[in-house]
Amino acid sequence: MTATLAIGNYKPNNRAALVEAFDAHVIAQPNGIADLDEALRKGIRAVAYASGQRFGGAEMDLLPDLGVIANYGVGYDAIDVDAASARGIRVTNTPNVLNDDVADLAIGMWLMQGREMRAAEAHVRSGDWAKDGPAPLNRKLSGGSAGIMGLGRIGRDIAHRLAAFKMDIHYYARSEKETPGWTYHADPVDLAGAVDFLFVALVGGSETEKFVSKDVIAALGKNGVVINISRGSVIDEGALLDALESGAIAGAGLDVFVGEPQVDPRFLDLQNVVLQPHQGSATVQTRAAMAQLQRDNVAAFLKGEDLLTPVV
């Protein structure tokens, strides 16, 4: 009898690897657990999770022998970790293996927004360059000031990249960190007031909901640009849209949205934003590394060994 339930819309190769390694039973979403055969449900000891839907105590209670939830991704805000802990269920994630790709995408959105590369490419493709001459001038980026909201694993990798662009680096975290001379701000509004470019790399979840508040956005000012690769929930999206529409800030680069994959249609009318489909870690190489780490955590649990990357 299989002991592993894989939940999510896995790509065929990852799905096949889970089936081969654990004879996993695969369903798309946690609301499918209730429909499983009772004997199968009662035998499940490990869940390989890759869904954005909430995995709460009610779903866990349908799997009475569950001992681990191995999340595919570093952000595990879809999983109710307190409910898991209360039931003695461990949770693992896939940190570090995706830092480079997510930091690369943050830098890419920053360059694309500031250098207006979308409009500039359209200028070439449309023939306007030959017809009307050069595209309008855009904005110098190197040597400016950047703030990192959340100097964790990914935030730090973004900061190192920005340092190579000769940026003056500031950051917010709940405690001051050891850095190569970057400026610490204990208050997020202070951070936004000190920089032109704000890179958001906080964890998601209820504790950081709308952390990038109306006040933070206002403090950034009319030259300010927000780059968000963390979660849509960490920004007050309504306040961000108001500021983008009114010119209270200069622009944004966004990989994550409230209610994604649905995107507020107000974003689609804005020319000062770069929009990406939550693809920070979405390279062939990194997704393979994440899937491997997820499987390694499941395997370690089933063998009674130490988990590789536990959250709790």
Chain residues that interact with ligand NAP, rule: CB under 6 A? 74-75, 95, 98, 102, 150-155, 173-175, 201-204, 207-208, 229-231, 255-256, 278, 280-281
Closest chain position to ligand NAP (CB): 152
According to the 3-state scheme, what is the secondary structure of the chain? Answer: CCCEEEEECCCHHHHHHHHHHHCCEEECCHHHHHHCCHHHHHHCCEEEEECCCCECHHHHHCCCCCCEEEECCCCCCCECHHHHHHCCCEEECCCCCCHHHHHHHHHHHHHHHHCCHHHHHHHHHCCHHHHHCCCCCCCCCCCCEEEEECCCHHHHHHHHHHHHCCCEEEEECCCCCCCCCCEEECCHHHHHHHCCEEEECCCCCHHHCCCECHHHHHHHCCCCEEEECCCHHHECHHHHHHHHHHCCCCEEEECCCCCCCCCCHHHHCCCCEEECCCCCCCCHHHHHHHHHHHHHHHHHHHCCCCCCCECC
Query: Is 170 part of the annotated catalytic residue set?
Result: no
Closer residue to ligand NAP, CB minimum distance, 23 or 176: 176
Closer residue to ligand NAP, CB minimum distance, 155 or 251: 155
Residue 221 tokens read as 């000012």
Q: Which residue is it, tokens 């997820």?
A: 294
* Active-site entry in 87, 115, 139, 260: 260
Nearest distance in Å: CB 5, ligand NAP: 23
Closer residue to ligand NAP, CB minimum distance, 4 or 93: 93
* Active-site entry in 41, 231, 287, 295: 231
Nearest distance in Å: CB 92, ligand NAP: 13
Nearest distance in Å: CB 256, ligand NAP: 5
Nearest distance in Å: CB 244, ligand NAP: 19
Query: Is 153 part of the annotated catalytic residue set?
Result: no
Nearest distance in Å: CB 160, ligand NAP: 13
Query: Is 185 part of the annotated catalytic residue set?
Result: no
Q: Which residues are catalytic?
A: 231, 260, 278
